[in-house]
Structure 1
Amino acid sequence: MKTVGIIGGSGFIGSHTTKKFLEEGYNVKVSVTDIKMSEKYEHLFNLKNADNLNISALKVEDFETLKAFIRDCEIVIHGGTPFQLDVEDPRKELFDPTINGTTNFLKAVSETPSIEKVVLIASVAAYNTNFPLPSYGKTTTDSFNETDKKYISAESHPYAQAKFMANQTVEKFIEENPKLSFEITSVSPVGVMGKSLSNREDSTSTGLQFLFKNKIAPNPFVQMLYDTNAEMATVDVEDVAQAIFKSATISGLHGKNYLLSSETYPVSDMTLMLNHKEPKNKASVIYQNRLAINDLEMKFRPVQETLNSYSK
């Protein structure tokens, strides 16, 4: 039985990833930032094969604790970077834990002989920090894929900028270390939606679905999405977990970063579908998913199916 360490394995994406690896017969170690807050991870013990689950406290900024967490792992998944839209101190809340945490993580895995595969959960922001708005030079109907020029703007949300910079850190590490004993693969999901495995109310992804369903705008960023009726590329959280599993268990994917995307609809149609009504527009595929379909044999769920699974 192989062991997988999942940093951030109790979050929205992380919980589905933990579920997938447990179902596939892996010994799963999940890190949480505060072991005392059991309400954030207790749902994992209801999963199939939860006897093979271990929960540990970890902050990726703590190098020695990080090394101890991954010491006996063959696979390590890093999805423990903060995802938040309301930010008071971007440096403290986003840039430092995301960028410095990634640097720390890469150093730790490079010093761990047991590791065979590393998967980083990046973001579409690794390609375009303007998401869901188009990158420079493109319109809202122009498609985007992994070969397009990456785009970052100082005017983009700090979360997006942090994810872009963290991905640059990964690419630089791969370039500077051509003889690694393990493979590194990244996945970059667009807007992740779907059913949560927990009742947590602090998830940005599930919170965004609640806002879209009820047309609530608690901050200027969300209000901008309504004002522009932004074209929102979406992917199901279960499909993201499946792609992470495939990336971790298929060899020969070193250095690749897969866009994970299903269909794109304007936000107004997402509101309709979250309320179990028919969209007014036809779906398009703005962020291309062909590479993930070819390499990972992915089959992405239709967005309407994804949004209908949201129950709050």
Structure 2
Amino acid sequence: MKTVGIIGGSGFIGSYITKKFLEEGYNVKVSVTDIKKSEKYKHLFNIENSDNLNISALKVEDLETLKDFISDCEIVVHGGTPFQLDVQDPQTELFDPTIKGTENFLKAISDTPSIEKVILIASVAAYNTNFPLPAGTKKPTDTFDETDLKFTSPDSHPYAQAKFLANQVVEKFINQNPVLPFEIISVSPVGVMGKSLSEREDSTSTGLQFLFKNKIAPNPFVQMLYDSNVEFALVDVQDVAEAIFKAATTLGLHSKNYLLSSESYPVSDITLMLNHQPPKNNASIIYKNGLAQKELEIKFKPVQETLNNYSK
């Protein structure tokens, strides 16, 4: 029985990853930033095979603790970077934990001989920091895939900039280390939605669905989404977890970075679907998912099914 370490394995996406690996018979180690806050991870013990689950306290900025956490793992999934849209201090809240955390993570895996596979949960922002707006001079209806020129701007949201820079750190590490004893694969999901496995109310992903459902705009960024009626690419959280499991258990994918996306709809249609009403527009495909379909064998759920799951 192999051991997988999942950094951030109790969050919105992380919980589904933890669930998948437990159901597939793995020993699973999950890191949390504060072990005292059991409300953030207690739901994981309701999952099948939770006898094989271990919870540990970890901050990715602490290199020695990080090394200890992954010391007996064959597979490591890193999804422990912060996802937040309301930011007071971008440097300390986003850039430091995301970029320095990634640098520490790469140091730690380099010193761990047991590791066979490393999966990094990046973001569509690794390709386009303007998401959900178009990249650079592209029109809202122009498609985007893994072969397109990456786009970043200092005017983009700090979260997106941090994820872009962290992905650059990973690419540089791979280029500077052409012979590694393990494979590194990244996945870059678009807007991840679906029903949470926990009852937590502080998740940005589930919070965004709540805002869209009720047409609430707590900050200028969300207000902009309504005002522009942005064409928003979405993906089901279960499909993201499935893609990560496939990437972790399929050989020969080293250095790949897969866009994970289903369909795109205007925000106004997302609001309708979250309220169990049909969309006024047909789904479009802006961010292509052909590479993930082919190499990870993922069949992406229709967005309407995903949003109905959240609202049940």
Given the two structures, how large is their TM-score scaled by the length of structure 2? 1.00
Structure 2 residue 77 is the aligned partner of structure 1 residue 43 = no
C-alpha distance in 2 between matches for 1:135 and 1:311 = 31
3-state SS of paired residue (1:233): strand
2:230 corresponds in structure 1 to 230
3-state SS of paired residue (1:234): strand
Please give the residue correspondences for 1:92-111 in structure 2 after superposition, counting only pairs within 5 Å: 92-111=92-111
1:191 corresponds in structure 2 to 191
Where does the alignment leave 5 or more consecutive residues of structure 2 unmatched? none
C-alpha distance in 2 between matches for 1:20 and 1:53 = 12
Structure 2 residue 286 is the aligned partner of structure 1 residue 279 = no
Letter in 1 for 2:63: F
Please give the residue correspondences for 1:231-310 in structure 2 after superposition, counting only pairs within 5 Å: 231-310=231-310
C-alpha distance in 1 between matches for 2:244 and 2:72 = 20
Q: Is the 8 A contact 2:275 2:311 kept in 1?
A: no
Q: Is the 8 A contact 2:272 2:279 kept in 1?
A: yes
Letter in 1 for 2:89: D
1:213 corresponds in structure 2 to 213
C-alpha distance in 1 between matches for 2:311 and 2:258 = 29
C-alpha distance in 2 between matches for 1:103 and 1:296 = 27
Please give the residue correspondences for 1:139-158 in structure 2 after superposition, counting only pairs within 5 Å: 139-158=139-158
| Identity across the alignment (%) | 80
C-alpha distance in 1 between matches for 2:41 and 2:291 = 33
Letter in 2 for 1:193: M
Q: Deviations over 1:101-130 (max 9, x none)?
A: 000000000100000000000000000000
2:166 corresponds in structure 1 to 166
Please give the residue correspondences for 1:117-136 in structure 2 after superposition, counting only pairs within 5 Å: 117-136=117-136
3-state SS of paired residue (1:163): helix
3-state SS of paired residue (2:259): strand
Displacement after TM superposition at 1:77 (Å): 0.1
Structure 2 residue 72 is the aligned partner of structure 1 residue 75 = no
Letter in 2 for 1:67: K
C-alpha distance in 2 between matches for 1:178 and 1:80 = 26
Given the two structures, how large is their TM-score scaled by the length of structure 1? 1.00
Q: Deviations over 1:174-218 (max 9, x none)?
A: 000011000000000000000100001110000000000000000
The runs of 4+ residues in structure 1 deviating greater than 3 Å are none
3-state SS of paired residue (2:184): strand
Aligned residues: 312
Displacement after TM superposition at 1:137 (Å): 1.5
C-alpha distance in 1 between matches for 2:119 and 2:202 = 24
C-alpha distance in 2 between matches for 1:247 and 1:166 = 20
Displacement after TM superposition at 1:311 (Å): 2.8
C-alpha distance in 2 between matches for 1:310 and 1:114 = 38
2:8 corresponds in structure 1 to 8
3-state SS of paired residue (1:310): helix
2:138 corresponds in structure 1 to 138
3-state SS of paired residue (1:309): helix
